[in-house]
Structure 1
């Protein structure tokens, strides 16, 4: 995934927060929109990414040529204005027929009545990575062409110099091993910081990147059994242990409270020993370091290694007046060659095994295949509740406060109170 996709993590939080305000203020349903005389409107946030937009346009062009009944028309928005466009359309019940949305926000859109189930695509989606298919309340509402995988990036020469083993998928580092590595890297005097966790990033990056660490400790953003309370999940003893550990990395100088503007460049320039980053960083770092660079599995902090799952996906609006046409396009677009085309353009993990074989680097035994394995084995989707946008922003504030010195227990307790109040005030989104 290129840097623009990482930036989308920031933008998606803005979209989600605004969308929740707009959607919760509207009645469910609405006037038909997004289709006229066989023309289906599609919206995407990819105006700023020519490669990915071009790959999407290729699917649309092929679909339009494949039949004469429907014609899809793409309208691409700059990332910064997609927020306003989507929320305004939702408020006026004039969403396009087909649109993209960040995966964790799909339940909110379903609850608000603006997404239709993707019926008749079961066989096509069976082979997709689970994290690339958006499900809510037993139904499928979206799918994506790709996912991404966070990983620990370092160099073999760095590990050899401090006498630390290279972890594997089957034997990742334990917390004790990782803490020991950080201590040794600090003691070596070779780096400004032992690690870079990209704490300068904002928005959706925080729940996407750091809640998996929380989950590996044994906590979570909310109790997923009913999604009624965060009590005992976000403020549990395990969650507090995570918060103290994360804050401790800053306190002892292992990481910066706010990393530089380009953590990958800082790692490449030798300022940090380990980088917590995404699969999107692989190509440039391989070009610089060759076989010395390592892309390692996440740490097992006690409850198994975890990484975030779910990236941008596509869905059909409930207000689309031609559901059959929209679903016909959605089915058409699931072909491996199209999944491969978008994933290749985005520099991301192809959603299907067939597509992976078509993308250089992702075939069996190739360099990038490890990222697909990480996604398959370690990906955890963010809480599947319409309340997620509020949960995300609440967690982000709490985590940032903790990193900057706030008391872990009281900060997490307050976050729990806020999340529980929001869930309850919305009747638990029933």
Structure 2
């Protein structure tokens, strides 16, 4: 009788002792610091509760998108996937991921900056922990030697002033090419780095009210002026069209480097207090920079959406955002998270980059057609660098983008403005 009673008690205890339900997660394989930070966040979540267990699988970055597409076709996607934020609308449109509402409570994401959110047609589909920002790097001593002022958030360089500064630096004979624009980079760099120049001039890659109209924005007078400004940098030999390497700033061969905050740690170590980071030039409407990096979403086929949402809510707590920034050096996407870091807290030595993200950041167009947009814009800039007039190059980009949108039936956006169609 006593033996039977013990067995009965054990049976009642089974649900309590049951193993946690596994939540499969895919992410792209990246640098050691980011991978270690990701594993640590997962371990903290798994230790914090006993209901769910996140299990990570790293996929080579070169085949990551193809792996997601292939897995989706055979309904083998994991519950949680990492995505580069500009691709989120395409993943949503293709049906790979689901809206995060009501799974993720609004309070969990209320404090996130623009760079911490991924949307499509007004709905939230992804959240992230960190961002990178664009900045104009130089050295205080080098600027002072030429009598050039240091630009500030209160008084950035105007586009015209910046060109004059570059011309003065070249004329000094100290710099053959005074500005490095990462000319060896390919792909997304061009839209990330230079479409903010369009936004600073008051125009854009596409009309964000309807995500269908490109003509009259990407090729209007303001856009053409930006394109010609870009082309003149090469024509006046202020920027090297095809750099031999990517070490010009480190080696003192350029006065300025326009690049991302992924260089902050390296440049801070090399130059110390001599390093200055300034806003990008102002084309009339204030400096602008690209926003958002890799983020997390929940797949439509996920059988444990509640567990996946619990993990995402964990990731965007101030404590986890702060930990991710401390581990990687990347810019946190909430004020509360920044306050928990040495570098980005108020008064921290890298606080400026957080302020750039808060004040200047603009996410790339939230359209499934963005990859085609980015490709067309990259081609236009390549043509401009090679001597084609900006008006012609941008007209060709407009035609290519609008053709892509029409071929895909507007990517779910209604024909007459607004954001029609099913989510």
TM-score, normalization by structure 2: 0.89
Match of 1:43? 26
2:148 is aligned, of 164, 187, 190, to 164
Measure, in 1, the Cα distance between the counterparts of 2:376 and 2:73: 24
Q: Cα offset for 1:161?
A: 2.1
Q: Aligned residue for 2:419?
A: none
Partner of 1:182: 166
- Partner residue of 1:152? 136
Whole-Å Cα distance in 2 between the matches of residues 281 and 346 of structure 1? 12
The 1:218–1:199 alpha-carbon spacing in structure 2 relative to 1, beyond 3 Å, is farther
Tell me how far 1:37 sits from its aligned partner. Answer: 8.2
Helix, strand or coil at the partner of 1:414: helix
What CA distance in whole angstroms lies between the structure 1 residues aligned with 2:271 and 2:312?
40
- Compare 413-422 and 89-98 and name the one that shifted more: 89-98
CA RMSD of aligned residues (A): 1.6
Contact 2:136/2:279 (<8 A) preserved: yes
Q: How does 1:1-400 map to 2 (within 5 A)?
A: 38-45=21-28, 47-119=29-101, 120-262=104-246, 265-400=247-382
Larger Rg: 2
On the 8 A contact 1:107/1:384 being kept in 2, the answer is yes
Check whether the contact 2:111–2:334 (CA below 8 A) recurs between aligned residues: yes
TM-score, normalisation: structure 1: 0.88
* 2:115 and 2:130 in contact (8 A); partners too: no
TM-superposed CA distance for 1:230, in Å, is 0.8
Q: Does 1:405 pair with 2:348?
A: no
Task: Return the alpha-carbon distance in structure 2 between the equivalents of residues 87 and 402 of structure 1.
Answer: 34
Give yes or no for contact 2:129–2:315 (8 Å, CA) kept in 1.
no
Secondary structure at 2:276 match in 1: strand
Alpha-carbon spacing, 1:176–1:407, altered in 2? closer, same or farther (3 Å): closer
Contact 1:243/1:399 (<8 A) preserved: yes
User: How much does 1:242 deviate?
Assistant: 1.0
Deviation at 1:219, TM superposition (A): 2.8
State the SS of the aligned residue for 1:118: coil
Mapped partners of 1:293, 1:247: distance in 2:
28
What displacement does 1:66 show? Answer: 2.4
Please say if residues 26 and 78 of structure 2, whose CA atoms lie closer than 8 Å, have aligned partners that are also in contact.
yes
CA–CA distance in structure 2, aligned partners of residues 38 and 370 of structure 1: 42
Structure 1 residue 260 displacement after superposition: 4.0
CA distance in structure 2 between the partners assigned to 1:211 and 1:94 by the alignment: 36
Q: Which runs of 5+ in 1 are unaligned?
A: 1-35
8 Å CA contact 2:85–2:118 kept in 1: the answer is yes
Q: Is the 8 Å Cα contact of residues 138 and 256 (structure 2) preserved in structure 1? A: yes
Q: Distance in 1 between matches of 2:46 and 2:88?
A: 27
Q: For residues 43-96 of structure 1, give each alpha carbon's deviation from its aligned partner in whole angstroms, at most 9, with x where no partner exists.
A: 011x34222112111221222222222211100122223233222223333221
What is the DSSP-based 3-state SS (H/G/I as helix, E as strand, rest coil) of the residue aligned with 1:385?
coil
Query: SS of 1:72's equivalent?
Result: strand
CA distance in 2, matches of 1:287, 1:332: 33
Distance, in Å, in 1 between the alignment partners of 2:180 and 2:146 is 18
Check whether the contact 2:344–2:351 (CA below 8 A) recurs between aligned residues: yes
Check conservation: 1:229, 1:423, Cα contact below 8 A. Answer: no
1-structure distance, mates of 2:200, 2:244: 26
Q: Which whole-Å CA distance do the structure 2 matches of 1:335 and 1:111 have between them? A: 28
